[in-house]
């Protein structure tokens, strides 16, 4: 704690002493000044049951960056892509691997700096019990809703494809999570592929899980939630980024060491009961920071991990779906992963 406070004080002094005004001046000021953090950070986030909510809810990001944080709530990773392309978001917390693969393919200037979780069973097909859907072919003639452009959408289409079902046989509808819950309660849809807390609400309202994730993961349809940083931001404020990732790690520690306390805080942020939050959190495989640097995931600087391949195969699928025009080389995805800040955060 003391070190953080001291470094913060030093920064404040530097700012005052040098009269640091805007980013445009940065090139001309002495090297040490580069350590100074930004005045304001635009962070896009989802309302979801994840440890990131602890860091946000406790104000840790504000504390460690000493900056004004502009929290921008988004409903999809696609919104983060658009906002980053427009330069109005610096950091996207919880963006799915599908929109990230799309973004990197399209040359959006951001980097993956963190894998927060391997989604696993946390996003799953939920079917209406009364509809008696037991095998994939039971979905023929049914309406399945999912937020288009999301990891869930990617999984659902993968599920249909691996089971030889076409979108002429199964009607796939585009609904945002809140609208999806409303449609479910009215009985307009029989199945949905979505994440918590919407998923929990469906289960509570006559739904049951139709397990797809294990077979899909084996078939290469791995999905994950990530943290992306605008490339220019990561280059300009590497130290700030390290501090934010440290806060994220601390939040994860709270969940692993004191799940009840964590569930309380997260529940308040996500607007669900602590019990629901806890149940949701248990479904995620939160990838510990050290594991993220293993070859299976992000790798280390100079030694890119296999997650770049996951992103590329996701992009290939999206290109088949015409969501993106073309898929770049693996090197583009490898360059799109920056493990340096996380490495420093663990020192």
Partner 1 sequence: MQHRIRLRAWTLLSVALLIAAWLILTWGGLVRDLFLPPPDELWDGFVDLATDGYRNRTLLEHVEASLWRIGAGFATGTVVGTLLGLAMGYWRPVEALFAPFVEFLRPLPQLAYLMLLIIWLGIGETSKIILLFLAALPVSAVAARDGVRNVRLQSILVARSLGASEWQVFRHVVLPSALPEIFAGARIAIGVVYGTLIAAEIIAGSSGIGWMILDAGRFLRSDYVFVGILSIGLMGLALNGALVALEARIVHWAGR
Token code pair at residue 299: 């790798």
Nearest approach in angstroms of CB 178 to partner 1 is: 7
| Burial classification of residue 207, based on how many CB atoms lie within 10 Å of its CB (0-12 exposed, 13-18 middle, 19 or more buried) | buried
Beta-strand pair 68-73/91-96: unpaired
H, E, C per residue of 160-222: HHHCCCCCCCCEEEECCHHHHHHHHHHCCCCEEEECCCHHHHHHHCCEEEECCHHHHHHCCCC
Nearer to partner 1, 279 or 319 (CB): 319
CB burial readout 13-50, b (16+ within 10 A) else e: ebbeeeebeeeeeeeeeeeebeebbbeebbbbbbbbbb
Residue 326 contacts partner 1 per CB under 8 A: no
Residue 178 contacts partner 1 per CB under 8 A: yes
CB neighbours of residue 261 within 10 Å: 13
Nearer to partner 1, 76 or 334 (CB): 76
**Contact region for partner 1 (CB under 8 A) — 118-126, 178-186, 199-207, 224-232?**
178-186
Residue numbers 5-44 binding partner 1 by CB under 8 A: none
Nearest approach in angstroms of CB 74 to partner 1 is: 11
Q: What is the distance between the alpha carbons of residues 10 and 237, in angstroms, rounded to a whole number?
A: 15
Number of residues in contact with partner 1, rule: CB under 8 A? Answer: 37
Beta-strand pair 143-146/191-194: parallel
Q: What is the distance between the alpha carbons of residues 149 and 99, in angstroms, rounded to a whole number?
A: 7
Among 13, 182, 219, 331, binds partner 1 (CB under 8 A): 182
Q: What is the distance between the alpha carbons of residues 89 and 104, in angstroms, rounded to a whole number?
A: 16
Nearest approach in angstroms of CB 151 to partner 1 is: 13
Residue 231 contacts partner 1 per CB under 8 A: no
**Contact region for partner 1 (CB under 8 A) — 28-36, 106-114, 195-203, 339-347?**
106-114
Nearest approach in angstroms of CB 289 to partner 1 is: 30
Residue 167 contacts partner 1 per CB under 8 A: yes
What phi and psi values does residue 64 have, to the nearest 5 degrees?
-80, -25
Bond prior to 169 in cis (omega within 30° of 0): no
Residue numbers 57-96 binding partner 1 by CB under 8 A: 76, 78-79, 81-82, 85
Among 5, 188, 275, 320, binds partner 1 (CB under 8 A): 188
Among 20, 72, 165, 173, binds partner 1 (CB under 8 A): 173
Residue numbers 242-301 binding partner 1 by CB under 8 A: none
Q: What is the distance between the alpha carbons of residues 346 and 271, in angstroms, rounded to a whole number?
A: 32
Under a CB-based contact definition with an 8 Å cutoff, are residues 123 and 280 in contact?
no
Among 106, 231, 236, 313, binds partner 1 (CB under 8 A): 106
Among 21, 87, 107, 295, binds partner 1 (CB under 8 A): 107
Nearer to partner 1, 202 or 251 (CB): 202
Among 108, 119, 242, 262, binds partner 1 (CB under 8 A): 108
Under a CB-based contact definition with an 8 Å cutoff, are residues 230 and 87 in contact?
yes
**Contact region for partner 1 (CB under 8 A) — 22-30, 117-125, 143-151, 303-311?**
143-151
Residue 164 contacts partner 1 per CB under 8 A: no
Sites of contact with partner 1 (CB under 8 A): 76, 78-79, 81-82, 85, 99, 102-103, 106-108, 145, 148-149, 167-168, 171-176, 178-179, 182-183, 185-186, 188-189, 318, 321-325
């Amino acid at each position: 704690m003391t070190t953080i406070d001291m470094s913060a004080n030093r920064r404040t002094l530097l700012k005052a002493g040098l009269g640091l005004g805007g980013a445009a001046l940065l090139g001309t000021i002495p090297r040490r000044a580069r350590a100074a953090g930004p005045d304001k950070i635009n962070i896009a986030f989802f309302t979801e049951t994840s440890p990131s909510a602890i860091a946000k809810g406790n104000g840790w990001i504000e504390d460690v960056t000493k900056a004004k944080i502009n929290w921008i709530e988004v409903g999809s990773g696609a919104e983060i892509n658009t906002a980053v392309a427009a330069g109005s978001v610096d950091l996207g917390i919880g963006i799915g691997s599908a929109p990230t693969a799309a973004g990197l393919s399209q040359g959006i200037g951001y980097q993956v700096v963190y894998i927060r979780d391997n989604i696993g069973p946390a996003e799953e097909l939920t079917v209406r019990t009364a509809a008696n859907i037991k095998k994939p072919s039971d979905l023929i003639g049914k309406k399945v809703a999912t937020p288009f452009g999301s990891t869930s959408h990617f999984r659902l289409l993968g599920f249909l494809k691996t089971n030889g079902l076409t979108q002429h046989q199964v009607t796939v509808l585009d609904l945002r999570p809140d609208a999806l819950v409303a449609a479910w309660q009215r009985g307009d849809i029989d199945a949905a592929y979505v994440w918590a807390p919407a998923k929990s609400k469906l289960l509570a309202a006559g739904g049951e899980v139709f397990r797809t994730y294990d077979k899909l993961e084996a078939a290469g349809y791995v999905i994950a939630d990530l943290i992306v940083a605008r490339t220019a931001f990561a280059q300009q404020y590497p130290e700030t980024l390290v501090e934010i990732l440290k806060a994220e790690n601390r939040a994860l520690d709270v969940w692993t060491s004191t799940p009840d306390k964590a569930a309380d805080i997260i529940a308040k942020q996500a607007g669900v009961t602590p019990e629901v939050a806890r149940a949701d959190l248990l479904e995620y495989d939160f990838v510990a920071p050290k594991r993220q640097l293993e070859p299976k995931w992000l790798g280390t600087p100079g030694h890119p991990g296999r997650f770049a391949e996951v992103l590329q195969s996701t992009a290939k699928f999206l290109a088949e779906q015409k969501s993106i025009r073309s898929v770049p080389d693996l090197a583009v995805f490898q360059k799109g992963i920056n493990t340096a800040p996380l490495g420093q955060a663990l020192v």
